[in-house]
């Protein structure tokens, strides 16, 4: 579980990203059952807010005012910063009292009185809340799908235990441009600074094993810039086939996916193997506790043909290209370049001497493939209209490219390794034509005017290439 300092740092980060924070009531924020800060009114339940109230009251804030939602985020920001300064002066670390509350009292539907496992002291919440147990993540997603409120939704997910190999906590933010993309983009670009004056002309850059190696080269050649790697995601199953491994449907090593599967599997395997090179259990937990519950089929078993998704979209029947306007950004991901196993063995392995930090930007392109089985996510997300309507297919791809670029820029990314969205198996019968036209389509998205003064999207990007695979 996160320490007090880590929770406070997350809270300050979320407050800083939220809009008009001095005017917002604290009720838009909360702590999920894993002790991770979440933001967005449509996602934060009473249990989440209860945890945050208790956390802040333990830091010395007025519990009654917090309970009555009479505290502005600016007050919390000032108080938490002041507490941080005091902690730095004392050079103290958290000793575990609230840690045990998060792991026990917060993690279960217990009564108001709960014995602290270490001290034996019976503690009570400092507010009038009676804890009722956390709502499951699936329910949170379902609520969001029903409301379908577009907005820059900053939504950190549960994270894996922070160990020596992964000193930074991964967080996940969600950008939704499905119904009000223009409004969301205006809010993203209003305060952005220009990164270049010369038009960015996109090129394809190959790297050993794909985007990991390309991303490493971008990091080396652009010191001081934040790297973003766009991921061709599976709208029905986060992490693609690795999702089946995480869910227990398949037994395979993450190393297998460095050389087998699509770009999403390759990058997710790279991320997990770099973070926890010698621990398959921790690799799976990293994926499970970050992206696994964020999107995908409501029923992820492999024995149903249900098309219901946590995004609230029937990807099979939708005729709206705007439905492909969501992205999820994993921050603080650590990745590696890949290398050949040997001169005679062309399989790729992690090059642990070449690691770098990046944001992974997940967004699912439209699927026009006839492959797969009725119970597989390929057929459960195959869009009927896209199989015959090439113009619609292209417009949907442009939407997901837009939102992935915008999501990265919103998170401070200035250098992109762009994916080949829907250029592979998802392109179906369009594959040859679409692959010939993809670079022109991407360039058109970069040339769009999105800034407050009519600036092009490329003006907010320092550098970008399309990452290809050697």
Cα radius of gyration (the chain): 22
Per-residue pLDDT, 87? 54
Whether residue 89 is predicted with pLDDT greater than 60 in this model: the reply is no
101-125 pLDDT tens trace: 233 323 333 333 333 333 333 333 3
Can you say whether the dihedral through the CA atoms of 290, 291, 292, 298 is positive or negative? positive
Q: Match domain 170-469 to its CATH number in 3.90.870.10, 3.40.50.2300, 3.30.70.260, 3.40.220.10.
A: 3.40.220.10
Residues composing the chain: 470
Question: What's the sign of the alpha-carbon dihedral 98, 102, 103, 109?
Answer: positive
Contact 418, 442 (CB under 8 A): yes
Q: Looking at residue 375, what is its pLDDT?
A: 95
Instruction: Identify the pLDDT of residue 13.
Output: 75
Identify which of 174, 136, 141 has the alpha carbon closest to the alpha carbon of residue 155.
Answer: 174
Whole-number pLDDT of residue 59: 82
**Which pLDDT belongs to residue 112?**
36
pLDDT digits (tens, 9 = 90+) for 141-188: 323 333 333 444 444 443 433 333 444 556 788 999 987 777 888 889
Q: Is the pLDDT assigned to residue 373 strictly greater than 80? A: yes
Q: What is the pTM of this model?
A: 0.69
Residues spanned by CATH 3.40.220.10 within the chain?
Answer: 170-469
Residue 58 to residues 9, 54, 125, 293, Cα–Cα distance (Å) = 16, 6, 9, 30
Average pLDDT over residues 76-100: 52
What is the C-alpha to C-alpha distance for residues 390 and 388, in angstroms, rounded to an integer? 6
Average pLDDT over residues 20-31: 63
Q: Which of 163-172, 263-272, 450-459 has the lowest mean pLDDT?
A: 163-172
Phi-psi region of 350 (alpha: psi -120 to 50; beta: other; left: phi over 0): beta
Percentage with pLDDT > 70 across the chain: 77
- pLDDT for 21 equals 44
pLDDT at site 290? 94
Percent of the chain whose pLDDT exceeds 90: 59
Averaged confidence pLDDT in the chain: 81
The confidence score (pLDDT) of residue 222 equals 98
Q: In sequence order, what DSSP letters do the residues of 6-41 get, joined into one string?
A: HHHHHHHHHHHHSTTGGGSBGGGEEE-TTS-EEE-T
Which 8-state DSSP code applies to residue 117? T
> Reading across the β-sheet that carries 415-418, which strands appear in turn?
151-153, 171-176, 326-342, 345-364, 227-233, 415-418, 463-469, 204-207
Residue 416 has pLDDT above 90, yes or no: yes
Element (H, E) at 190: none
Which pLDDT tens digit goes with each residue over 205-248? Answer: 999 999 999 999 999 999 999 999 999 999 999 999 999 999 99
pLDDT given at position 210: 95
pLDDT band of residue 1 (cuts 50, 70, 90) is low
Longest dimension (CA), the chain: 69
Contact 369, 428 (CB under 8 A): yes
Q: Is the pLDDT higher at 128 or at 282? A: 282
């Amino acid at each position: 579980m996160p320490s007090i300092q880590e929770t406070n740092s997350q809270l300050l980060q979320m407050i800083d990203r939220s809009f008009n924070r001095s005017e917002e009531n604290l009720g838009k924020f909360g702590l999920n059952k894993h002790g991770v800060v979440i933001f967005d009114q449509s996602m934060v339940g009473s249990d989440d807010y209860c945890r945050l109230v208790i956390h802040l009251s333990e830091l010395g804030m007025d519990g009654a005012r917090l309970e009555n939602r009479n505290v502005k985020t600016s007050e919390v920001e000032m108080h938490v910063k002041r507490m941080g300064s005091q902690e730095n002066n004392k050079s103290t670390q958290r000793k575990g009292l609230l840690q045990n509350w998060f792991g026990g009292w917060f993690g279960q539907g217990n009564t108001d009185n709960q014995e602290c496992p270490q001290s034996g002291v019976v503690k009570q919440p400092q507010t009038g809340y009676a804890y009722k147990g956390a709502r499951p993540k699936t329910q949170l997603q379902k609520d969001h799908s029903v409301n379908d409120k577009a907005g820059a939704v900053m939504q950190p997910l549960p994270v894996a235990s922070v160990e020596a190999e992964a000193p930074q906590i991964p967080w996940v933010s969600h950008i939704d441009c499905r119904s009000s993309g223009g409004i969301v983009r205006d809010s993203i670009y209003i305060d952005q600074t220009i990164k270049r004056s010369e038009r960015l002309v996109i090129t394809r850059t190959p790297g050993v094993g794909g985007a990991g190696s390309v991303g490493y080269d971008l990091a080396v050649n652009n010191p001081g810039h934040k790297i973003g790697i766009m991921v061709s995601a599976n709208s029905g199953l986060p992490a693609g086939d690795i999702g089946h491994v995480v869910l227990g449907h398949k037994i395979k090593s993450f190393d297998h996916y460095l050389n087998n599967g699509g770009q999403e599997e390759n990058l997710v395997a790279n991320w997990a193997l770099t973070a926890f090179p010698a621990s398959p259990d921790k690799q799976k937990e990293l994926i499970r506790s970050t992206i696994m519950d964020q999107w995908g089929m409501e029923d992820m078993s492999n024995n149903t043909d249900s098309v219901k998704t946590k995004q609230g979209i029937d990807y099979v029947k939708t005729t709206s290209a705007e439905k492909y306007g969501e992205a999820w950004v994993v921050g603080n991901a650590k990745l590696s370049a890949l290398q050949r196993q040997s001169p005679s063995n062309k399989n790729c392995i992690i090059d642990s001497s070449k690691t770098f930090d990046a944001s992974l930007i997940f967004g699912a392109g439209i699927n026009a493939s006839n492959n797969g089985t009725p119970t597989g996510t390929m057929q459960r997300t195959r869009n009927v209209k896209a199989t015959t309507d090439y113009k619609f297919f292209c417009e949907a791809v442009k939407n997901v490219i837009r939102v992935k670029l915008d999501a990265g820029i919103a998170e401070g990314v200035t250098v992109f390794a762009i994916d080949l969205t829907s250029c592979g198996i998802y392109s179906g019968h369009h594959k040859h034509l679409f692959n010939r036209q993809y670079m022109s389509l991407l360039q058109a998205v970069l040339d769009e005017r999105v800034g407050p003064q009519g600036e092009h999207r490329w003006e907010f990007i320092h550098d970008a290439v399309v990452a290809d695979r050697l």
